[in-house]
Amino acid sequence: MSDRDESRDDPRAEQTRYDQARYVENGQYEPLLSEKDQTRVEIGGNGGDGGSPLPDDLTRDSLELPELSEPELARHYTRLSQMIYGIDSGPYPLGSCTMKYNPKFTEDVAALPSAAVHPDRSERSVQGTLELMYRLQDYLGRIGGMDAVTLQPPAGAAGEFVGIRVAAAYHEHEGEGHRDEVIVPESAHGTNFASAALGGYDVVSLPSDEGGRVDLEALEAALSENTAALMLTNPNTLGLFERDIEEIAEMVHDVGGLLYYDGANLNALLGRARPGDMGFDVMHYNVHKTFATPHGGGGPGAGPVGVVDELAPFLPAPRVRENGASKSEPGYELFDPEHTIGKVHGYQGNWLVLVKAFAYIARLGDEGLADASAKAVLNANYLASRIEYEVPYEPFHHEFVASAGEQDAADVAKRMLDYGVHPPTTKWPEIVPEALMTEPTEVEGKDTLDRLAAAFNAVADEDDETLEAAPERTTARRIDQTSAARSPRLSWQALESEGDDE
């Protein structure tokens, strides 16, 4: 309650309430289907009287739904879709998060009836499903230079946690259970710190050098016989490639530590360089960033984890392998790795996201993947060359971090929405003041990049007052995010009656 009360003194929260009235006045407000139509049609009615094969307490007597025509329904959902900004509305240059949504055919593949298999079916009856998983493990292994892959973790952060638990199990098995530190550069994604801590480790934060890369002297000082792992993103979140990566790997390995690769920035390396060849021992892939599937609002994603041979026995269970039944017609089976850390997700992970990743990789092939990363790097460099904001760290690859300087990066982001484009990731990494972390991805053409640059530059010239009042043109304006997160209103009725109190 206290959070809510504080937010009432916040002028921006005031603006949110005012906005609700404005939508209604301007006809921008879209009522619920049940508000649109008060008449009700009764659906069902076979429950409770033994008419359903389900137990009585699991069926309802009837379901009353508003009586609406098909066009009314279509308009409702079309209007809702137009009230938000999505990746199908325009460019979405969220740095590090890599938002892209093509090719769309991956959706067709995931929608094939044969993709919708029940997870409890016998292995013999789902050989095609297992083959797809086996081949995806293989694709990902080859892309990352890793020997073994698990498809189970449902997100990048979950993959990090699995990777850290696998590293812990390995050290334990080697009689090195005393290792209790994981080193994370200060430019890393917040999930790296969280995964290491959740995995039971003390987190040692590593400062960057003046160029924005790993400071080798600081690394030397941080490494010890207590080091379990160093987690690195490469290119790092500034888009900079760690040129000393081989030396870094050697330093970590010399003290008996493992090198973890955060794969969220794999879009820069696809088909060109492999974490395994750089000396990494374990990595996760954010398949929802690098391959198909847009993400947001909490999902869906998948964060497969790849490891070198030494770590393979510790991967989560089950994995898929060829069962060697017959040479001419290989079969596939699930198996538990020898020293597995156990299960980390129901069944096989976020299956349909994995199907889309498989379809994407198979469609693009080696050349297509290498072409995607080349264009991602080209697009980032072209866009950066067109914007007025300073980009302090170079040479970057698939993303760059500009500084909003005297402006507030969050206000810049809100204002960019008024120019019809999605803003970049803001305020992170903290090495760059008022960071605008921008990743156009390979999917945008020159016209779109020019439009994005024009939006950046228009906002760069605006005063604080204009920025603080933004966005003017979106359906919702300044959202009271703290209250939304801490005391979410999950029912429309609750919102209405609370509104009455005010």
Ligand X SMILES: *Cc1c(COP(=O)(O)O)cnc(C)c1O
Residues 291-320 that bind ligand X (CB under 6 A): 301, 303
Site for ligand X contains 157 (CB under 6 A): yes
Binding segment for ligand X (CB under 6 A), chosen from 116-124, 154-162, 178-186, 200-208, is 154-162
- Give the angle subtended at the CA of 203 by the CAs of 199 and 205, to the nearest 5°: 145
CB 361 within 8 A of CB 369: yes
CB 289 within 8 A of CB 264: yes
| Segments in 199-271 forming alpha helices (H) | 216-222, 245-254
Is the Cβ of residue 264 or residue 459 nearer to ligand X in the bound state? Answer: 264
Site for ligand X contains 252 (CB under 6 A): no
Binding segment for ligand X (CB under 6 A), chosen from 57-65, 103-111, 155-163, 338-346, is 155-163
Helix (H, G, I), strand (E, B) or coil at 412: helix
Query: Which backbone phi and psi does 195 adopt, to 5 degrees?
Result: -65, -40
Is the Cβ of residue 264 or residue 344 nearer to ligand X in the bound state? Answer: 264
Helix (H, G, I), strand (E, B) or coil at 112: coil
Binding segment for ligand X (CB under 6 A), chosen from 78-86, 150-158, 165-173, 377-385, is 150-158
Site for ligand X contains 286 (CB under 6 A): yes
Binding segment for ligand X (CB under 6 A), chosen from 122-130, 140-148, 149-157, 462-470, is 149-157
Can you spell out the DSSP letters for 339-408?
T-----SSTTSSHHHHHHHHHHHHHHHHHHHHHHHHHHHHHHHHHHHH-SSB--S-SBSS-EEEE-TTS-
Locate 181 and state its tokens: 């530190």
Distance from the Cα of residue 185 to its chain's centroid: 20
Q: Shortest Cβ contact with ligand X: which residue?
A: 156
The amino acid sitting at 162 is V
Site for ligand X contains 191 (CB under 6 A): yes
Binding segment for ligand X (CB under 6 A), chosen from 61-69, 152-160, 162-170, 364-372, is 152-160
- How many CA atoms lie within 13 Å of 224's alpha carbon, on the beta-carbon side? 10
Site for ligand X contains 189 (CB under 6 A): yes
CA proximity to 301, closest of 98, 16, 486, 448? 98
Site for ligand X contains 155 (CB under 6 A): yes
Site for ligand X contains 262 (CB under 6 A): yes
Is the Cβ of residue 163 or residue 279 nearer to ligand X in the bound state? Answer: 163
End-to-end CA distance of the chain: give it in Å, rounded.
15
**What minimum distance in Å lies between the beta carbon of 153 and ligand X?**
9
CB 406 within 8 A of CB 461: no
Secondary element (H or E) of residue 258 = strand 258-262
**Binding characters for ligand X, 402-441, by CB under 6 A (x = yes):** ----------------------------------------
Binding segment for ligand X (CB under 6 A), chosen from 5-13, 63-71, 118-126, 153-161, is 153-161
Locate 172 and state its tokens: 């334990």
Site for ligand X contains 97 (CB under 6 A): yes
Site for ligand X contains 356 (CB under 6 A): no
Locate 84 and state its tokens: 């938000």
CB proximity list for 298: less than 8 A, separation 6 or greater: none
Distance (Å, rounded) from C-alpha 13 to C-alpha 502?
13
Pick the binder of ligand X from 106, 129, 227, 233 (CB under 6 A).
233
Binding segment for ligand X (CB under 6 A), chosen from 32-40, 79-87, 151-159, 395-403, is 151-159
The amino acid sitting at 487 is S
**What minimum distance in Å lies between the beta carbon of 494 and ligand X?**
30
Pick the binder of ligand X from 156, 185, 235, 294 (CB under 6 A).
156
Site for ligand X contains 196 (CB under 6 A): no
Q: How many residues bind ligand X (CB under 6 A)?
A: 14
Pick the binder of ligand X from 264, 357, 417, 435 (CB under 6 A).
264
Site for ligand X contains 96 (CB under 6 A): yes
Site for ligand X contains 235 (CB under 6 A): no
**What minimum distance in Å lies between the beta carbon of 429 and ligand X?**
10
Beta bridge partners of 305: 150, 284
Q: Which residues bind ligand X (CB under 6 A)?
A: 96-97, 155-157, 189, 191, 233, 237, 262, 264, 286, 301, 303
